[in-house]
Chains A and B, each alone.
Chain A
């Protein structure tokens, strides 16, 4: 019961924050609504039993990405009397298209019968009682290439374990390095070249 109340609270905060991001016209206020929304998503992750993902979400998104966005906002600030506003017609059109898309998504979700999947569980209260709630060790082992909880697909009797995620882990590490070098190069402070007129050299 408590878990359900917490879910409704954080779901309301998440959706309210997301709507706040869309509706606000002030860019700094959008950043703070985004912080509220992403923090509530982290709480939803904890309710789903994903403790490491919840902590990583807080660290990386709220503590990193949103701070980066606020830096960007402050570095590209317009003059104090200039307001970039979306016109009302654009806003209405966007709202209509968004509403239609939301209707399609929700009707698809509700039209499917998830409980026919084998192994389906029906409430998040079961998380608090049953499993130990620690995902850090299984996640770490999976990134090292071991899946102790799963046999090789299609070959369940031989005792071989399924492959892990070592290769994507390495690819993502290199990808991060390359992206950060590229971004640092793109955003470097450029030396202004003063045009000098040489005399006869």
Chain B
């Protein structure tokens, strides 16, 4: 069989991305939505590092991947703080119950 090329890594990245998007769309638990966000960011990271390896993009791809990892960690911290506040105020973590735009 042909050696593993760029397309194979891009397909794995695409599958992770789509799984993350579906997870963000259909999960009712807010933490489940955050897990979808992590999957999306990792799919994009896999794309970056694959392009860094196979094209003249070079080291820049790995640097962008590092930036994405750092920013994803920061965003996960803030999103979890928001989810905890939501739970403390409404005593539920179900995002379908967050449908009132007041206090």
Question: Which A residues are closer than 8 A to B by beta carbons?
Answer: 3-4, 7-8, 11, 14-15, 18-19, 21-22, 27, 30-31, 34, 37-38, 41, 44-45, 48-50, 52-53, 56-57, 60-61, 64-66, 68-69, 71-73, 75-76, 78, 84-86, 90-91, 93-95, 97-99, 101-102, 105-106, 109-110, 114, 117-125, 127, 135, 138-139, 142-143, 147, 149-150, 165, 168, 172, 175-176, 179-180, 182-184, 186-187, 190
Contacts and interface: CB of A to CB of B under 8 A. Distances in A.
Interface residues of B, number: 72
Given A41-B46, A97-B22, A72 B63 contact: no
B56 A48 contact: no
B100 to A, nearest CB: 18
A18 B58 CA distance: 28
Given A48-B49, A121-B54, A186-B78, A61 B19 contact: no
A69 B35 contact: yes
Contact of B53 (A49, A60, A65, A102): A49
Contacts of B78: 179, 182-183, 186
Interface string B1-18: 101111111111011111
A159 to B, nearest CB: 19
A186 B80 CA distance: 10
A37 B45 CA distance: 13
Most buried by B among A21, A64, A184: A21
Contacts of A180: 74, 77
Given A8-B4, A22-B19, A118-B56, 6 more contacts: A41-B45, A72-B31, A76-B31, A109-B11, A135-B62, A138-B59
Nearest to A185: B81
A68 B34 CA distance: 11
Interface in B54-73: 54-56, 58-59, 62-63, 65-67, 69-73
